[in-house]
A and B are shown apart, each in its own frame.
Chain A
Amino acid sequence: SAALTFELVAKCSTTRARASILTLPHGPVNLPMFMPVATQASLKGITPEQLESTGCRLCLNNTYHLGLKPGQEVLDAVGGAHKLQGWNHNILTDSGGFQMVSLLKLANVTEEGVRFLSPHDGSPMLLTPEHSMSLQNSIGSDIMMQLDDVLVTTSPDKVRMREAMERSVRWLDRCIAAHKNPDRQNLFCIIQGGLDLEMRRECTREMVARDTPGIAIGGLSGGEAKDDFCKVVATCTELLPELKPRYVMGIGYPEDLVVSTALGADMFDCVWPTRTARFGNAITKVGVLNMKREMYAADFGPIEDGCGCPCCRPVDQEGAMGITRAFVHHNAAKETVAAHLLTIHNVWYQLNLMREARDAIIADKFPAFVKEFFAGLYPDRQDYPSWATDALRGVGIDLREP
């Protein structure tokens, strides 16, 4: 059963890119899309109203963090995460497993679940598929993720990798059985299998057979080579049913979004755009610019020329602030407001990048869009990253041709 509808609007005639409308319990969203991460039910100092002004209609919350603070009891009493944070649009939650394994040194995975020591009092705790579902049911997210057994893709231990992949399938079955609200919350499966393409194929077939409303490709935000990353995405999307949303977890660099879209993925999330904002970095068409650099001290241009975000649009326009690079430089690392402004700009950039990609897909001009995007980032074609040119060539775009 599904609490969503998926409507395929257009397909790129060259690549595997798709444009679609995903209608979730809290309204429709256009795919492909980027989802900003509001880890603890808040997007780094910006108000839900400001997040809305970037065009965002689906953001992430982290189950592990909300399980700790405010905790399940409070979530139940308040009536879930939408009510907690005053966000009337969609929320996606992860299972909590990844964060446990990555944040907590002493996490330990068994068939039962993930064992770890409570950060509150050091007492042993266990996150099972059932407990993850229960937490996500309390959160009330529009999209829930299954608990999976995540290994870093670069792990050399083939046996352990297979165990993790097979366990993830078994845990999906337990998640489906434990999910209390399939009529109003969507549970997505997560394909595992590391960098072993055969194992990925096997996992994809197993997961697809379980017919969840959406499908994620997991385990990829680690330190694997970009070539390997692209091969995994391409291998999975090839086998995925056309009429379901495909979510590549934990990626967020603009190049990754554009290439993954070309490979047939629809949804992406990453903390990078908002985290990097707090270090004074602005994401732009020509790359990441650090506003703390002296060269911006007296630069009275917008954060990015031509950007349509509330910060960058000229001050005489409705709802615009006319923020200059000089002002961001003046307050970067000194006042939280500078970070809030860059957060708004960066989130807007990421969402807009996907809006433009989507428009291009609908107009069947996606290859031209991809070329223009890379030309903006790299003035010299020699500098195009080979992983991107290779991956794009695999789906019919030759970046060397104008």
Chain B
Amino acid sequence: MSDEIHDQAVMTFEVLKAAVRDGVAARLGKLALAGRKTVIDTPNFFAGTSRGVVPHITPDNVSKHLHAGGAYMALEDFIERPQQYYTRKPPIFDTPTPLPPGKPLHSFTAMPPSITTVLAARRIPAVPAPMGNSNNSISIFTSVGFQVLTTKEYHNAVEALKPDIAIPLADLTNHSTAPNTKRALRMADRTDQWVKEFFDELDTQDVLNPSKISTFAPILPIDYSIQWEYIERLAEDLFPHLAGLAVYDLDVLPDIADKYANLLTLPRLSLSAPATPHHILRQIGLGIDLFTIPFINTVSDSGLALTFTFPSPSSQLEPADAQPNGTGTSLKPLGMDLSCPSNQISLAPLLENCTCYACTNHHKAYIHHLLNAREMLGWTLLQIHNHAVISQFFASIRETLSLGQEAFEAAVEKFTLTYEPDFPAGTGEKPRARGYHYKSGAGEGKRNKPGWSKLGGDETPAAEKENGNPADVAPVTVAADVNA
């Protein structure tokens, strides 16, 4: 992301400034990826993708307007087997690779070469599968339904697609509730076995290094006491093969720090879906270097523009911020609902001093209009802005960290005292649910009300007949309604 360096054969991570205290704490680092000209300054984040795209953002806008360190992709988004073509090889495996050379995942998704790709089996958050996992496979959720992915298939996919960072399979339940001890023990056993197999089948010298694939080993969301054998293997036998840790739950980190200091030298990627910037700060305080942040996409879909800055602005609220936030507290909101009619004629940017494309070329009134008219560009501009706010958030965090641990902690405390704990609810209609991955509990109704209908109750969709019907976002999707 920052200064250019020369290509290098393997990934390196350099900790520039770490806590001197015992255990794990916030730190400043530089991640230089194998075969890449750019380095990622940490703490930082990877943008979430759906089917290989950052939702609503075309690849040209990703390179021009999205300042993310990389993109997290899920194999389950690429390997569906539609009933009529059940035996076909997923097309992604035949991708030619013009640029960057030898990186099919990049080429298939048209990700700009500057973007680092992370490949895991499942999206974050993943839809829990009714049938669970087996000793040599996991359940994944594709656009045509649940499907089995064997460890062997996953390893072949990693070898074929050559992501910059691969996360070996972990045995996860993907439920919000913690697994019982018996299930947790099996999770540890299987993951231990699978990670070992990963390196057996994908030899570091013969396959991973020449393909410029770095491996981040999963750390399970279960007690250290249950997965200690697995972690010991990572720290001892497998350590030379590891480039980082993919942490599904942070609670284990202090134990790891206690027992296996060598693992502390690896960059840690959080896959725990932090719910708010407060959670991100807390996780940075616990030693996380890299994040995937699913809330950016959901916040944009809700019509919210992120409005927080770090460190928080000086104590007295500016007049523009002094409006009641609806919760009766004096805390500032983390985001602003652009569907709110108060934005109707505001020519102000989404966030004062934001340098993103949306804020420098457009204003609140336009985004409000686009949301109100259900024009897709509204969500595109919010995505660009919200990613920019997060990018700036991390840049400021790094700057504060460079001043030392105390400066960081003071700024975190101030941030906590300044901002609301949660995002406001968005009142606008969300984009037409883009299908299957919105699957949730049975019996949930359609996410949005049906669109604008004609006077006189004509049943024929006007979009089929005449110029621009206001409700005309129709063709982009089908599957959501199937789940309803």
B-contacting residues of A (Cβ < 8 Å)?
Answer: 37, 39-50, 53, 62, 65, 68-70, 74, 77-78, 83-86, 98-99, 102-106, 116-117, 119, 122, 250, 271, 275, 278-280, 294, 297-298, 300, 310, 314-316, 319, 321-324, 326-327, 329-331, 333-341, 344
User: Closest approach, in angstroms, between the C-beta of B370 and any C-beta of chain A?
Assistant: 6
Q: Say whether B95 contacts A300, CB under 8 Å.
A: yes
Residue of A nearest to B380 (CB): A45
Residues on A with C-beta less than 8 A from B463 are: 275
A279 to B477, CA, bound (A): 9
Question: Are the CB atoms of A333 and B91 closer together than 8 Å?
Answer: no
Complex interface residues of chain B between 54 and 103 (CB less than 8 A to chain A) = 55-61, 78, 84-85, 88, 91-92, 94-96, 98-99
B312 at the interface (CB under 8 A from A): no
| Cβ contacts B441-484/A at 8 Å (1 or 0 each) | 00000000000101110100011011111101011111100000
Chain B residue with Cβ nearest A62: B468
Given A39-B468, A45-B377, A344-B58, check contact A74 B476 (CB 8 Å). no
Q: Return the contact of A42 from the options B377, B431, B476 (Cβ within 8 A).
A: B377
On whether the beta carbons of A40 and B470 are closer than 8 Å, the reply is: yes
Please indicate the chain A residues that have their CB under 8 angstroms from the CB of B478 in the complex: 333
If A105-B456, A336-B376 touch, does A310 touch B468 (CB 8 Å cutoff)?
Answer: no
Do A37 and B56 touch (CB < 8 A)? no
Would you call A39 and B380 a contact (CB within 8 A)?
no
Chain B contacts to A: CB under 8 angstroms: 50-53, 55-61, 78, 84-85, 88, 91-92, 94-96, 98-99, 107-110, 143, 344-345, 347, 357, 361-363, 365-366, 368-370, 372-373, 375-381, 431, 434-435, 452, 454-456, 458, 462-463, 465-470, 472, 474-479
CB neighbours of B366 from chain A (8 A): 41, 84-86
Contact A334 B51 (CB under 8 A): yes
A40 in contact with B375 given A103-B469, A321-B59, A322-B99 (CB within 8 Å): yes
A86 contacts across to B, CB distance below 8 A: 361-363, 366
CA distance A323 to B466 in the complex (A): 30
Say which residue of B466, B469, B470 sits within 8 Å of A69 (CB atoms): B470
State the CA gap A336–B59 with chains docked (Å): 12
Residues of B within 8 A of A37 (CB): 467-468
* Chain B residue with the shortest CB-CB distance to A321: B59
Cross-chain contact A70 with B344 (CB below 8 angstroms):
yes
Task: Give the residue among B94, B109, B373, B431 with the most A Cβ atoms within 10 A.
Answer: B373
How far does the alpha carbon of A279 sit from the alpha carbon of B78 in the complex, in Å?
Answer: 21
Cross-chain contact B467 with A323 (CB below 8 angstroms): no
Instruction: Report the minimal beta-carbon distance from B146 to chain A, rounded to whole angstroms.
Output: 17
Q: Which residues from A are CB-within-8-Å of B107?
A: 315, 322
**Which single member of A44, A48, A78, A294 contacts B345 (CB below 8 Å)?**
A78
- Return the 7 tightest CB-CB contacts between A and B, nearest first: A39-B468, A45-B376, A105-B456, A298-B91, A77-B345, A42-B375, A278-B475
- B55/A336 in contact, CB under 8 A: yes
Chain A contacts for B51, CB-based, 8 A: 330-331, 334-335
Q: Measured between C-beta atoms, what is the minimum distance from B85 to chain A in Å? A: 6
CB-based contact A339/B50 at 8 Å: no
CA gap between A68 and B369 in the complex, in Å: 11
Alpha-carbon distance between A333 and B465 when the two chains are bound, in angstroms: 20
Question: Would you call B143 and A334 a contact (CB within 8 A)?
Answer: yes
Asked if B456 and A106 make an inter-chain contact with CB atoms under 8 angstroms apart, the answer reads yes
- Give the CA-CA distance A14 to B78 in the complex, in Å: 53
Nearest-neighbor residue (CB-CB) of B431 within chain A: A336
Contact of A105 among B59, B108, B455 (CB under 8 A): B455
Which of A43, A278, A341 is in CB contact (< 8 Å) with B58? A341
In the complex, residue of chain B having the shortest beta-carbon distance to the beta carbon of A301: B96
Given contacts A78-B345, A271-B468, A321-B60, contact A47 B369 (CB under 8 A): no
- Residues in chain A near residue B92, CB distance under 8 A: 326, 330
- Smallest CB-CB separation from B80: which chain A residue? A330
Give the CA-CA distance A324 to B435 in the complex, in Å: 22
Cβ of A331 and Cβ of B52 under 8 Å apart?
yes
Are A271 and B467 in contact (CB-based, < 8 A)? yes
Q: How far is the CA of A357 from the CA of B373 in the complex (A)?
A: 36
